[in-house]
Amino acid sequence: MNSVETRYATYDPILNADALVRHGQRRVREDALRIIAAGLRAADPGAGTQELVHRDGDVLYVAEHQVDLTNVDHVYVVGAGKGSLPIAAMLEEVLADRLTAGVVAVKDGEQPRLRTIDVREAGHPLPDARSVAAAEAILAIADRADARDLVFAAVTGGASALMTMPVYGVTLADLQCVTDLLLRSGAPIDEINAVRRHLCQVKGGRLLARIQPAEAITLTLNTAQGRFPWPDVCLPDPTTFADAIGVLKQRAVWDQVPDTVRTYLEEGVDHPQWETLKEIDGMRTRIVSVTDPGRACEAAAQAAEALGYRGVVLSTIIDGEAREAALVLAGITREIALTGRPFEPPCALISGGELTVNVEAAEGSGGPNQEFALAFSLPYAFGHEVACIAVDTDGTDGPTDVAGGIVDDGTASRATAMELDLGAYLREHNSYAALHQLDDHIVTGHTGTNIMNLRVIVVR
């Protein structure tokens, strides 16, 4: 490998690294890109699956669990999500001739196709007719599985849209409307899912119930440490119809959702038999996390240390409004630059979590990571070389084609010279347009993972 290849290997999977280091504070930009690239690589669910699932003849090992394949008639793989394809691909490689069939639903643009597993593209973040067709195919396999069968469920973030089957009386258009209203309201993902579970025949543990009496092993990404991870199709649901109604009212969209949705949720309160799965006692099931936010953040911290920074993982569960989180972390960064508290430069602050944007009536385009980066660049100059990157680990930030954005201590002044009013762009939630003109978008394409928003702040 020549020197140029070596240099850009450190940026993989960031596709436009060359353009991002042609302007601004180049040294800290280069370092921040290398650090966040290491975090993205560590989030690869295919690599995690390879570490945890392997086969020795007729004995299949899944983490600490062993399966004697001589006692198994059929092995199936089902799943959905932005990280499901690498998991499914690795399972197909390990299982080889013992794999009977499978279906996974992925986002548009996922190019690889598998030999035995049917890979289906579907809509995200709004479900579409392909999401319903994928759910039907997955449930057909679940219903086909018997007591001597083994079913792997590869379920990651994005599955709620990619695998959808509306409850009776509610249409796909109704679900699309509800999802869009909740996304625009700035509701966090746990609130959105509390509603969607009660409007879908797959979510809330219903897929797991359909797989029984076969053994179900769910491979997932632990995206929310301390809370339930993503695969709510294979987990008991702690929320109720009343909770779903409460979310819609709290987010001030109850009166805007279709009448069919209000009617179904209100009737559901009086029909406990309609509720989602509440317990899994007696079911043949286990769940295994193949990667998690801690793994990605620690890898980023190690990369920072290798570059001469003190790598600090602040938290893997910073949630909330993007611009508010940006102001808090910008304040911490300024304290570091001015006083050396709580960490002496050079240091790299690493954090994860799921940020949101309440767009209200704004018509701008962007996502929480782009909005975070833009808001971080505005409050004040840091007086040091500082770079900040925020990305969604799946490679698509909100309804855009980019992963996020990068800014540095000179971004605000560079924008002024270009006659860009960043404050106005932020007020209109139009971070995509601002970062596009600054040539500061992070582009990765599909990464095959989705564990969280990942942020790196470098202070020299």
Q: Are residues 280 and 400 in the same domain?
A: no
Give pLDDT, residue 229.
Answer: 52
175 lies in a domain?
no
Name the band, by pLDDT with cuts 50, 70 and 90, for residue 216: very high
- How many degrees, rounded to 5, is the angle at CA 86 between CA 454 and CA 307? 40
384 lies in a domain?
yes
Which of the listed residues 291, 322, 351 is the one where a domain comes to its end?
A: 291
Read off the pLDDT of residues 256-291 as tens digits, 9 standing for 90 and up: 999 999 999 999 999 999 999 999 899 999 999 998
311 lies in a domain?
yes
Q: Are residues 77 and 142 in the same domain?
A: yes
Q: What are the residues facing 78 on neighbouring strands?
A: 103, 153
Would you state the structure tokens that stand for residue 268, as one six-digit string? 């559901």
Residue 123 near residue 47 (C-beta atoms within 8 A): no
Which amino acid is it at 122?
A
pLDDT at 349 > cutoff 80 = yes
Number of domains in the chain: 2
Length of the chain measured in residues: 460
261 lies in a domain?
no
Give pLDDT, residue 228.
Answer: 46
- Mean predicted confidence (pLDDT) in 286-301: 92
pLDDT at 225 > cutoff 80 = no
Q: Are residues 419 and 455 in the same domain?
A: yes
Containing domain of residue 424, as a range?
A: 3-42+293-459
pLDDT at 224 > cutoff 70 = no
Q: Are residues 287 and 429 in the same domain?
A: no
Please state whether the peptide bond connecting residue 236 to the residue before it is cis, i.e. omega within 30 degrees of 0. no
How far apart are the C-alpha atoms of 211 and 200, rounded to whole Å?
16
How many alpha carbons lie under 13 Å from residue 397 in its C-beta half-sphere? Answer: 33
Cβ neighbours for 249, distance < 8 A, ≥ 6 positions apart: none
CATH number assigned to the domain comprising residue 357: 3.40.1480.10
Q: Are residues 68 and 91 in the same domain?
A: yes
Q: Are residues 300 and 434 in the same domain?
A: yes
256 lies in a domain?
no
Read off the pLDDT of residues 46-56 as tens digits, 9 standing for 90 and up: 999 999 999 99
117 lies in a domain?
yes
Q: Are residues 15 and 133 in the same domain?
A: no
Q: Are residues 222 and 340 in the same domain?
A: no
What's the whole-number average pLDDT of the chain? 92
72 lies in a domain?
yes
Residue 455 near residue 352 (C-beta atoms within 8 A): yes
Q: Are residues 156 and 223 in the same domain?
A: yes
Name the band, by pLDDT with cuts 50, 70 and 90, for residue 157: confident
390 lies in a domain?
yes
Q: Are residues 32 and 49 in the same domain?
A: no
pLDDT at 188 > cutoff 90 = no
- Mean predicted confidence (pLDDT) in 158-185: 93
Q: Of the ranges 56-60, 252-256, 281-285, 445-449, which one carries the lowest mean pLDDT score?
A: 445-449
CATH number assigned to the domain comprising residue 148: 3.40.50.10180
pLDDT at 401 > cutoff 70 = yes
Q: Are residues 143 and 32 in the same domain?
A: no
Burial group, residue 379, by CB count within 10 angstroms (0-12, 13-18, 19+): middle
Q: Are residues 9 and 81 in the same domain?
A: no
How far apart are the C-alpha atoms of 380 and 261, rounded to whole Å?
46
Name the band, by pLDDT with cuts 50, 70 and 90, for residue 226: very low
pLDDT at 352 > cutoff 60 = yes
Read off the pLDDT of residues 10-57 as tens digits, 9 standing for 90 and up: 788 999 999 999 999 999 999 999 999 999 999 999 999 999 999 999
- Mean predicted confidence (pLDDT) in 119-134: 94
